[in-house]
Structure 1
């Protein structure tokens, strides 16, 4: 009855006196619509309440019960219907306005929480309490995966909406979070949420999200970067930073894979932390390759393919589309120029580290930094 307010007296006054409601009376009904939304009462239920109240009141009105004049009854009915139409209209308007404001407030609170969660709020106890409101137990290890468009103008909003439904269907509605940040979709799931048997099939969060993108036919190409799982309040921001760095490294290294993992790029993170040392290593180990006609690029690509192929010359030749003899000749030429042979474990390690560093810095296409 609280939501009816002065609605019933308005109907009675209309039936008896034919009066239309004043603006302030309709404002009161609009406010009732806002209260209904705030209390969790749906718009349909609120309208049903007003319609059923009008029906009950109509049967009790003196002008209906006592009058034998059909014209008076018709006039009363028209007046009541006019007020009913006005009241229901403003009731729904108020309800919708409050719902829009509630959604904006919820989105604002959610966005603030996501920012603080990914950044790592210094107030640990408060962060734990806020996370619980969103159904996240920060005591558990969590993965963070980032979904980024690889084509200009990727529909990030559509991807976020579709992925949120897919993530909830796949992992459940507890302990998961899907949001947008910096033009990417952020997906947070606990490490234990990976579906049963996924590890045995060689799948993980990054692969599963890429599968969902394809299954849902989200337009454009997308890259998914997955960080490792870490426990505690600082676990989520740490995994997020790993995923961000994995995306940046994948772009920098021109990786073609649509799924990249922070764990697979750890060596590049290590190399990148001491740029001065890696520049010296590239100059000392690979610098002599520039003596070759046409530059170091061909021999460097051969080394990279050989290491990626697990030191199997046949597989390296297949990847390079050359003969095995060509690969072995180039490796021998590298050993001759640099004094480092892939057949020697110590020298091979130095060669591979230098090759990885060269790839990270874009050498020899880009010159090495002169002042690291």
Structure 2
């Protein structure tokens, strides 16, 4: 029997023979009229799990069991003692049913171990991503990052993307971006994940790498125009990812709130807005003091606020603002005069106009008046 086990391992190209563990004894018993008991099937599931833990390919395990079955067949006691074709046929049916049930049990154990390993790996990865983007357990991040191809001693840039639907781990858009990124030269050093419905990409700050990555992501998301990218500033060290992530997320928020042109917003280009939003309490006070009076407008504050935003976006040219708003120039000038009547701030006075513009930006960033 030991010789048969060794030959089966050779036939299966070296799959460990100990994974058979008593299988030939079971076949011998079945061939002599015995039955396959539930305990034996549980044992096979455990062996399947063991094979998965040892990274033995499933096809190799199946090959091992099938090879052992046909090699053992001539020497099984029931086969040797069979008299007549009918008896041999019944024994063959019993043996191959037992082999089928055994291999199925091994496969079930193997698959369950793989699912558990995958869930555990996903849990480890999620925990690492959360620690990385929250700045927790910084002292262990460097060692854990190497498992995912990141070298946190270097400088990295975090890019976040928002779309019409939340991004989720394993979702189709997430997989599509991962697939495209894997084709790049620096793919090993890029981590693609999700956080709070955003697609998050951690990219090494190497010459041309960030630009190439942004181009690839844009190509991936281009079929749907309702998405935006936020790009943080390069940051170094284990704590750098969380800083760049917050900058990227804030750049995305500013681009969405202010409806800035384009779909890519870089934190380095939006520093003035970040200064404004850093002290939310002071910004809210400014908005309240300057713009609260326009709530008294007959049409509500929305129309006047929208007109002010269009006027400043048009570089204070009323004709351009009117074209953008699809109204006449006189309507725009009337609304601007109405703002002055209600607030006391004129768009024609440089200092007052600057205060108005900052208040309008603050209202957009804070979601005023809806968010007030």
TMscore range, shorter length:
0.7 to 0.9
Shift of the 291–133 alpha-carbon distance from structure 1 to 2, 3 Å rule, reads closer
Give the match for residue 40 of structure 1: 55
- Note the C-alpha offset of 1:292: 9.0
What's the counterpart of residue 230 of structure 1?
Answer: 235
Equivalent position of 2:21 in the other structure? 5
- The answer to whether the Cα contact below 8 Å between 2:163 and 2:226 also exists between their aligned partners in 1 is yes
SS in 1 for 2:36: coil
Residues 1:213 and 2:221 are matched in the alignment: yes
How much has 1:35 moved relative to structure 2? 0.8
Q: CA deviation at 1:173?
A: 3.9
1:90 equivalenced with 2:95 (yes/no): no
1:162 and 1:259 mapped to 2: Cα distance? 19
Distance 1:100 1:154, change over 3 A: closer
Instruction: Name the structure 1 match of 2:199.
Output: 185
Q: How many residues align?
A: 353
Equivalent residue, structure 2, for 1:102: 117
Bigger mean CA offset, 324-333 vs 311-320 = 324-333
Deviation at 1:102, TM superposition (A): 0.9
Alpha carbons 1:246, 1:260 under 8 Å: kept: yes
Structure 2 counterpart of 1:241, from 246, 249, 255: 246
Aligned equivalent of 1:120, options 135, 144, 161: 135
Sort the Cα spacing of 1:4 and 1:318 in 2 relative to 1 into closer, same or farther, 3 A.
Answer: same
- Over 3 Å counting, the alpha-carbon distance change for 1:340 and 1:312 in structure 2 is closer
Quick one: distance in 2 between partners of 1:257 and 1:77? 72
> Aligned partners of 2:179 and 2:240: how far apart in 1?
24
Q: Which is further off, 30-39 or 324-333?
A: 324-333
Shift of 1:167: 2.8
Q: How does 1:1-372 map to 2 (within 5 A)?
A: 1-15=17-31, 17-61=32-76, 64=79, 69-124=84-139, 126-150=140-164, 157-170=171-184, 173-192=187-206, 198=211, 205=214, 208-215=216-223, 221-250=226-255, 252-253=257-258, 258-275=263-280, 277-278=282-283, 301=306, 304-310=309-315, 315-321=320-326, 338=345, 341=348, 350=355, 352-362=357-367, 365=369
In 2: Cα distance, 1:133 partner to 1:154 partner: 23
Unaligned runs of 5+ in 2: 1-16
Q: Provide the alpha-carbon RMSD of the alignment.
A: 4.0
Question: Match of 1:145, SS?
Answer: strand
Cα deviation, 1:38-87, whole Å, max 9, x if unaligned, reads 11122222111110111112244466568774444334322321221121
Contact 1:6/1:25 (<8 A) preserved: no
* Contact 1:210–1:259 (Cα < 8 Å) also in 2: no
Relative to the length of structure 2, the TM-score reads 0.75
Please state how far the C-alpha of 1:224 moved relative to its aligned partner. 3.5
> CA offset at residue 164 of structure 1?
2.5
SS of alignment partner, residue 161 of structure 2: strand
- More displaced, 311-320 or 224-233? 311-320
SS in 1 for 2:238: coil
Q: Show CA shifts across 1:136-181 (max 9, x none).
A: 1112222323333435x88873333333323323465412222233
Residues 1:208 and 1:260: Cα distance change in structure 2 (over 3 Å): farther
Contact kept, 8 Å, 1:171 with 1:194, in 2: the verdict is no
**Structure 1 residue 279 displacement after superposition:** 5.4
Q: Which residue of 1 aligns with 2:4?
A: none
TM-score relative to the length of structure 1: 0.75
Deviation by residue 1:320-343 (Cα, 9 ceiling, x = unmatched): 44677887898899899646647x
Give the Å deviation of 1:112.
Answer: 0.9
Is there any run of 5+ residues in structure 1 with no aligned partner, and where?
none
Tell me the distance in 1 between the aligned counterparts of 2:68 and 2:148: 38
> Which has the higher mean CA deviation after the structures are superposed, 252-261 or 232-241?
252-261
